[in-house]
Chains A and B, each alone.
Chain A
C-alpha cells in the first residue's frame, strides 16, 4: 500500500535526485568524477545496473538514434523520444554533457569536446565508488546481457575475454542474448566458469520443456531478501540462428514468469527484481500485466533513460548500452516493501572518470596480442559513421556500398542491429569495422531474390519492429538496404507498410517477378557461405578512398 506519506517521500526523493544532476549548469567545464557520481542516497539497498556492453572494453563513441519510433500505445512515450524532444522531456540543456550522452544533435562536435564514453576500467571505478559509499554488502550488481559478443577480441576468444574481465567486477547475476550466438555448448562452458547465476526463467529444453538455467536467484543485502528473476531475449532463436541453440526454446513465457514472481514472494522475497533482456516496450507491457514486480532492469533496446518509468508499482530502469552508463537505483525497503527510491543514470565520460588501474592492466594484457591488428588504419571517412536508429545509419550505408561493389550485387541487405560503435570523421581502424560487424555468422552471401521476395522480407522485418503489440516485436531495427529505395508507412498493417520499391541503379520500380542479385550478411540460415563481412568492408575501403555516406536518404518514412 502506498500511503500519502510514502508518496510524499517518493516525490521528495525524486525532486532531490533528479534536478540536481541534470541542471543546465552540468556543462563541460563543470565535469568532475564526483559530480558525475553524486546523488542523494535513499534507503540502504542499491541495485547497480549494466546493460548491453556488447563487449566494448575500451571507451567508444556511440551516437544515440535520430529515429526510434513508437507505434500503437507507446507512440510519443519514452524511450521513443529522440534528440531535442528527449532533452526537452527531461529538461536537459542542449550542448551539455548529458545532452551529448543521451541525444544525437551536434554529435561530432560534442564528441570532440567531451571525449569517448565507457570503458570497463572506468565502469570498475564507478562500481567501486558506489560500493564504497553504500557498503558492498548492501549492493547487487546485475547485468542485463549482451556482454560477451560484438568486438574482435570477444569473437576471437569466443567470449572468454569478457567473462574473465567482467568477473573482476563481481557481478551477482546476468541474463543473455548475443551470448547465445556462441552456440549452446560454449554458453554452457562459460556459464560453468561464472561463479554467479546466469538466469533465464524463459529458456526450456525443446524436448520436454524442462528449465535449462536457473530462473530465480535469491539474495540478502542490506537486511533485505531480494529475488532476481532472469529473462533472456525471448526471440533469440528467431532473430539469431536457431541452429546455434537447437535444443533450447525461448519465448516471453508470461505465465511462467507470473508463477516465478508468486513463488519468490511465497519464499519470503521483500523485493522482486526482473533482470531482463526483453526490450523496453515488452517490459513496459509486462510490468502492467504481471503483478508483484518491484523493479525491471531492462535491456536489449539500448535505451538510456535518466529516470525509471513507473508502471503501477513497478520501476522500469533502462541504463543504455556500450558501457556509456551505469544505472544506480537506491531502494528504501521497510516493513517488507519498497517505500521509496532514488535513481541516477551515471554517464561514464572516460576523460573524467579515472580508470581503475588493475582493470586497465588486465584489458591491456588481454588486448596486447591483437593491438597491431586492431589499430591498423583501413580507410578514411569524411562524415560520422554510426548505425543506431530505426533505418539506415551512415555506417550501414558504407557496409551496403561495400557489398554492392565487392559482391557485384544490385541490392544489399544489412541487419538492423542496435549495436555498433560510432566513428568520428578521420581514419577508420580495423577495430572500428569489427565493432560494427564482429559476430559468429558474418558470411556475406550473394543470391538472387525476386522482387516479391524482397517485398516480403521488408514487410516481415517491418512488422517485427512496428507491430503495435510489443509482444509481437521480434527484431532489431529495420533491415538496412543498399541499391534499393522504398517508402514505409510505419502505422500501416502487416503487409501494407512497404511501397515504392525502386532499384536505385536504374530508377525503375522493382518488379515482383524479376530476379535481383542480392548480397547480404548475418543470415540466420545454416550453411550460408561467403567471405566475412569485415573483409568485404576492408576491401571496399581500400578500393574506394574516403567515404562520405549521407545516411538513409533512400528510405522515405510516413505514418510516424
Chain B
C-alpha cells in the first residue's frame, strides 16, 4: 500500500483524520449491539448505496487486528460539478461500528484515504461514498482476525 502523498492528498487525509477522531471510533464503549446498518442508512438518508466506484483495499487476513491497513479510493473527477462529499467507513463487527468519516471537496483533487483501523474480530468493513449529486456508492471487504499459529 505505497501511496505517494501529494500536498493536496496530505491535506485531505489530515482533514479526514480530524473527522475520524470526532466519531470516537477508538474509544467507543464495549457493547454487543452493532448498529452498522442503522448508521449506514442514517448516513445515506435511507438510500441503499450501489456497489461500485469505491475501491476499498484491505488485507484478507489482518496481521495485527489493532492496526489493520486500509486504503480507499473513489472513482471521481473531483470537479465542482462531480465530486465526492463524504466517505464513511463502518466495521460491522466492532463494538462501535463507526470507524471514520472523511470529508472531501473538489480541492482535494482525489478522493482517497489511507489509514490503519482497529478490528475486534473477523468482520466486514464497508466504505460508503456520498457523491455531489446525492448518490451513494459502496464497497465491502471481509477481514479475518485470527489467533494465528500452526503455519505450514
Contacts and interface: CB of A to CB of B under 8 A. Distances in A.
Interface of A: 146, 177-178, 204, 208-211, 233, 235-240, 242, 249-252, 255, 300, 415-419, 456-457, 460-461, 463-464, 467, 469, 471-472, 474-477, 479, 494, 522-524
A204 B1 contact: yes
Interface residues of B, number: 21
A469 B142 CA distance: 11
A522 B59 CA distance: 25
Contacts of B144: 463, 467, 472, 474
Interface of B: 1-3, 57, 59-64, 69, 122, 142, 144, 146-152
B152 A479 contact: no
B16 to A, nearest CB: 18
A464 B146 contact: yes
B64 A242 contact: yes
Contact of A460 (B2, B69, B147): B147
A187 to B, nearest CB: 16
Instruction: Determine chain B's interface SS by DSSP, over half rule.
Output: loop
B1 A522 contact: no
Given A471-B60, A474-B61, A210 B151 contact: no
A494 to B, nearest CB: 7
Contacts of A252: 59-60
A415 B1 contact: no
Contacts of B1: 204, 209
B63 A249 contact: yes
Contact of B148 (A239, A255, A494): A239
Given A209-B2, A494-B122, A472 B61 contact: yes
A509 B42 CA distance: 47
Pairs of residues from A and B, 3 with the lowest C-beta to C-beta distance, nearest first: A239-B151, A476-B152, A251-B59
A242 B2 CA distance: 21
Contacts of A457: 147
A445 to B, nearest CB: 12
Contacts of A475: 149-152
Nearest to B116: A206
A61 B61 CA distance: 34
Nearest to B122: A494
B2 A239 contact: no
Given A235-B61, A250-B63, A494-B122, A522 B149 contact: yes
B63 A479 contact: no
Interface centre among B62, B63, B64, B142, by most A CB within 10 Å? B63
Q: Which of B59, B60, B142, B146 has the most CB of A within 10 A?
A: B60
Contacts of B60: 251-252, 469, 471-472
Contact of A242 (B63, B69, B147): B63
Nearest to A248: B63
B152 A237 contact: no
Given A457-B147, A464-B146, A476-B150, 17 more contacts: A208-B2, A233-B152, A238-B148, A238-B151, A239-B148, A239-B152, A242-B63, A249-B69, A251-B61, A417-B151, A461-B149, A463-B146, A467-B144, A474-B61, A474-B144, A494-B122, A522-B150
